[in-house]
Amino acid sequence: MAGTLGALRDTRREWMINRSRLIAAVLALIAVLGVLVYRYYSLQITQHDDFMTQSDRNRIRVEVIPPTRGQIVDRKGRLLAANKPTFVIGVVRERSEDPAALVGILTERLSLTDRELKAFQERSDRRRPFEAVPIKLGLDDAALATVAVDLHQLPGVVVDAQLTRDYPYGEALSHVLGYVGRVSAEDLAELDTERYRGTLHTGKVGLEKRYEPLLHGKPGYQHIETNAHGRVLRVLEKQAPVPGKNLRLYLDLDLQREAVAALGDQRGAVVALDPLTGGVLAMVSNPSYDANLFVEGISYSDYAELRGSLDTPLLNRAVQGQYPPGSTVKPLISLGALARDFITPDTEIPDPGWYRLPGDDRRYRDWTLRVRGTGHAETVDLRMAIAESCDTYYYDLAHRMGIDAMAEVLQPFGLGQRTGIDTTGEQDGILPSTAWKRAALGEPWYPGETISAGIGQGYMLTTPLQLAQAAMVLANRGESFVPSVVHRVDDLTVGGVQRPPIPMDDADWQAVVAGMVDVVHSPRGTAAVIAKGVGYQIAGKTGTSQVVSIAQDAIYDEDAISERNRNHGLFVAFAPVENPRIVVAVIAENGGGSGAASPVARQIMDAWLNEASDA
């Protein structure tokens, strides 16, 4: 039986099968080893540079170094907008296992508002990998301590020291300087994203907005090496940022404070210019606000209070407030009438205290009719008309000139157009004409509207800055400059740009200025009250503009009218007359008349000219 089984076994065939299996196993092993060798070769030789780069990215990253914002100083170098150190807490999402939970912890510890969380999300959406996203800005020591004490238990949280904007003089300069605020998504739509990477603030209004490209500077970069936990080990390479440029203003801090004090609680505005350069020596809008509230984000309640106030503190009245100029335009109309031979300095008209258009029964009253019951005198010439602000004289002159001729002579003085001052939000005002009314209202012009325009009423609107610019033209006898707040950007002069001169006979200038001198220094001048004790000569012009119209036979009774419906008071002036060194325009909202404005101008001129004489 055993022999039979041995005879049936095929040993050769079994050996051939085993050898085939062995060869297949060896070949498979060789193939696997070949793949491993190839892969090893690929990793170590062929793709070495690529993987080294990826490895470096895990431990080396690029950080943006934001530039230091340029500072703003007054004409004497005193800091008006500075940079102060503050702490910022940020989040690096890649370093945290649960970024959402980390944000929740910070929200609780730092009492983050919905607005701060929204801003954090907006920044997160445009961040780069491993970039810290600020979540809380402007921390004080107490708030910082609530996080710093457990910082080692909060992977992904970073604390950074940065410089932020500070306005040491608060409300006194807010309308001049403007303010910076947090960079928003809307801002980034207009700004260069790369240039503003790492920057938390940008100019929103005023000089901060107007000169943003110069104040901001250029960011720098540094390559840093970190360990696996993100801790910085060393700086490998660094490119320093370029700081923003500094602004030196024409503005004088002492005069600005004097103007604020002179205006007091009165709603209104003051503009003081240097007639030799057009530089803004002082610019005040009252009431004001504290620009520091906006730097790190104003609260909803504070902003609602500012926005909802009847006193409109956010409005820069100096360049955005538009008011009927009243009688302050009379010297300008006089110059145009002299140049076009509508009058001479000796032209006289009868003054019964009112004026009537031919064929019209309506009487346009002079302000003296209410006070004296009659006119200024039996007849009035140009000098008296300016000194005593004779409405009847200008009613007659306006009727003879016509509205279009008046618009043509007022336009070169800068009315009805922006001055070009280097700030934001400036308004045009309105210089009415037949073409303007047809375009704006679709209506014809009526003769009675010309009468109102002759004394700066009706449709005519100006800003205090426009009135100051017009007074500068008077002070310089036709020469003027584009008003400028900034004198120099670092060492580059940017102010002092001349406007086209207004050619006119010297005798015409002298005739009008003589009337303006009498406004202050004549016993019957409308601003004679400010002449007492003055040690220099002032040329000025008072103005009163109506807020509500008064019926023809009604009498203006200030006590019977609500405070916000009372007349505005205006005053423009320059001094000293023969060598002007300051031009001032004042608007006293609802002040009742020019008596609320002229003392403000006198106080400002005293402060400036006394300082100049002391120097």
d(CA 612, CA 155): 61
Q: What angle do CA 272, 273, 275 make, to 5 degrees?
A: 145
Note whether 595 and 569 are within 8 A (CB).
Answer: yes
Cα separation, 329 vs 443, whole angstroms: 25
φ/ψ of 406, rounded to 5, equals: -65, -40
Cα torsion at 387, 393, 395, 399 (round to 10°)?
Answer: -130
d(CA 155, CA 135): 15
Q: Is 327 annotated in the active site? A: yes
Residues 134 and 200: beta-carbon distance below 8 Å: yes
Nearest Cα neighbor of 250 from 205, 197, 207, 293 is: 207
Task: Considering only CA atoms, give the Rg of the chain.
Answer: 38
In three-state secondary structure terms, 590 is: coil
The DSSP secondary-structure symbol of 606 reads H
CA-CA-CA-CA torsion for 167, 171, 172, 173, nearest 10 degrees? 50
What's the Cα-to-Cα distance from 310 to each of 97, 176, 305, 564, rounded to whole Å? 51, 21, 10, 10
Instruction: Give the span between the Cα atoms of 182 and 191, in whole angstroms.
Output: 13
Structural tokens at position 193? 């994203």
C-alpha torsion 223→224→229→231, nearest 10: -150
Rounded to 10 degrees, what is the CA torsion of 348, 351, 354, 355?
-30
Three-state DSSP at 494 gives coil
What is the per-residue burial (b if ≥16 Cβ within 10 Å, else e) of 536-565? eebbbbbbbbbeeeeeeeeebeeeebeeee
Catalytic-labelled residue, pool 174, 285, 288, 327: 327
Q: Which pair of structure tokens corresponds to residue 394?
A: 């200008």
- Mind telling me the catalytic residues? 327
